[in-house]
């Protein structure tokens, strides 16, 4: 919105157009939320935690301190679990961002609050699992949580359309991260929990994905442009956490989440469902955005190929890490 005496800037115009679009999408929000509520299955986080394997820790209960050999999970899975949990832990910041962008009232407000309530289960259940299984150092985990949540998270997307594109990609990326971590953990209890969380993320993704399909119809040039910006500059929301890069490299080297996963199981399926690359009738801005997306996918393939051998070496010597510049799939997509 332009202030009195100032000419509206491009940023102001984009924000105002985005806000209009959010209002225009409200009937779709109602419909997709009804669909979401019909599909979502309520579940109880405490029933997924293997309490029978737990024992007291040192501290007020004078139990057994944690030590590394107690964890039976592979190192890369431990890293993935810490990344996934600390990312879920920043839910208060995500709620603030969404509620500020989309609104706290009406259909958008109902969605934001419901989404927040569902997301809160993920951190609860994951932390319970990690503690019960003594999977990672609980003291370091808590120290990292304080640093990460204490720093907060700000979504830098310039307008509501970009924010909507971002959450669509992010929900699908998060589904893949949880599901692949579960498949790699070698523990049926852990796999069951992470599959359960991934099912939630899938429904969140479907809500945003099909809403974005409406945006592509309502404002095709702007929607493809926003999508290109998001795809070409994507980073997971947890990249600012302590030791993110080191952990994400091990996760990538283990194949849990790397550039191939991001390209083939996140970006391409979304682009296919929306038929973005075949959209016709776009103006110069939309056509340029299609070209940017195509070029980015090509660069991702070339970069993934370059680093494949490096990751093979890392897998054979678990502790070694590559030099600067190796992509992780979660935070280095500006390839
Ligand atoms: Fe989540
Ligand atoms: Fe989610």
pLDDT digits (tens, 9 = 90+) for 314-323: 777 655 554 4
Tens digits of per-residue pLDDT, 16-56?
777 889 999 999 999 999 999 999 999 999 999 999 989 99
Domain ranges for the chain, please list them: 11-63+71-219+233-258
30 CA distance to ligand 1 middle (Å)? 22
Tens digits of per-residue pLDDT, 151-169?
999 988 999 999 999 999 9
**What is the per-residue pLDDT for 2?**
37
Q: 165-185: buried (b, 16+ CB within 10 Å) or exposed (e) per residue?
A: bbbbbbbbbbbbbbbbbbebb
As residues whose CB is below 5 A from the ion ligand 2, the structure lists 171, 201, 204
Which numbered ligand comes closest to the C-alpha of 204? 2
Q: 192-224: buried (b, 16+ CB within 10 Å) or exposed (e) per residue?
A: ebbebbbbbbbbbbbbbbbbbbbbbeebbbbbb
- Both tokens assigned to 97: 């961002």
The fold for domain 11-63+71-219+233-258 equals Ribonucleotide Reductase, subunit A (1.10.620)
Which numbered ligand comes closest to the C-alpha of 169? 2
Instruction: Calculate mean pLDDT across residues 122-130.
Output: 98
198 CA distance to ligand 2 middle (Å)? 8
What's the CA gap between 3 and 271, in Å, rounded?
A: 38
315 CA distance to ligand 1 middle (Å)? 28
Q: What are the distances in angstroms from CA 136 to CA 10, 55, 68?
A: 47, 14, 7
Q: What are the distances in angstroms from CA 194 to CA 83, 171, 179, 317?
A: 13, 14, 6, 27
**What is the per-residue pLDDT for 1?**
35
What's the CA gap between 1 and 14, in Å, rounded?
A: 10
Residue 221 has pLDDT above 80, yes or no: yes
**What is the per-residue pLDDT for 321?**
54
42 CA distance to ligand 2 middle (Å)? 14
Residue 12 has pLDDT above 60, yes or no: yes
Look up residue 264 and give its DSSP letter. Answer: I
């Amino acid at each position: 919105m332009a202030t009195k005496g100032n000419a509206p800037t491009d940023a102001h115009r984009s924000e105002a157009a985005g806000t209009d679009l959010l209002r225009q999408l409200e009937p779709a929000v109602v419909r997709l939320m009804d669909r979401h509520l019909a599909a979502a299955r309520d579940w109880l986080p405490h029933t997924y935690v293997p309490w029978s394997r737990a024992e007291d820790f040192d501290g007020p209960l004078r139990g057994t301190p944690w030590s590394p050999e107690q964890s039976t999970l592979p190192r890369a899975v431990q890293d993935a679990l810490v990344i996934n949990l600390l990312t879920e832990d920043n839910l208060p910041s995500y709620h603030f961002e969404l509620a500020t962008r989309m609104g706290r009232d009406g259909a958008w407000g109902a969605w934001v609050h419901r989404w927040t309530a569902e997301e809160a289960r993920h951190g609860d259940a994951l932390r319970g699992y990690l503690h019960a299984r003594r999977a990672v150092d609980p003291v370091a985990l808590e120290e990292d949580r304080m640093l990460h949540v204490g720093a907060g998270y700000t979504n830098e997307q310039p307008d509501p359309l970009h924010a909507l594109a971002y959450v669509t990609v992010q929900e699908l990326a998060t589904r893949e991260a949880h599901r692949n971590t579960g498949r790699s953990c070698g523990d049926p209890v852990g796999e069951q929990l992470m599959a359960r969380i991934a099912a939630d993320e899938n429904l969140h993704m479907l809500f945003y994905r099909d809403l974005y399909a409406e945006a592509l119809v309502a404002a095709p040039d702007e929607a493809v442009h926003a999508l290109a910006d998001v795809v070409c500059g994507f980073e997971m929301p947890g990249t600012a956490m302590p030791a993110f890069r080191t952990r994400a490299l091990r996760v990538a080297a283990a194949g849990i989440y790397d550039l191939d996963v991001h390209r083939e199981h996140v970006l391409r399926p979304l682009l296919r469902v929306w038929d973005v690359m075949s959209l016709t009738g776009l103006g110069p801005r939309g056509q340029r955005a299609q070209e940017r997306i195509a070029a980015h996918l090509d660069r991702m393939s070339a970069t993934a190929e370059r680093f494949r051998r490096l990751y093979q070496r890392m897998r054979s010597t678990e502790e070694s890490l590559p030099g600067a510049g190796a992509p992780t799939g979660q935070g280095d997509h500006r390839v």
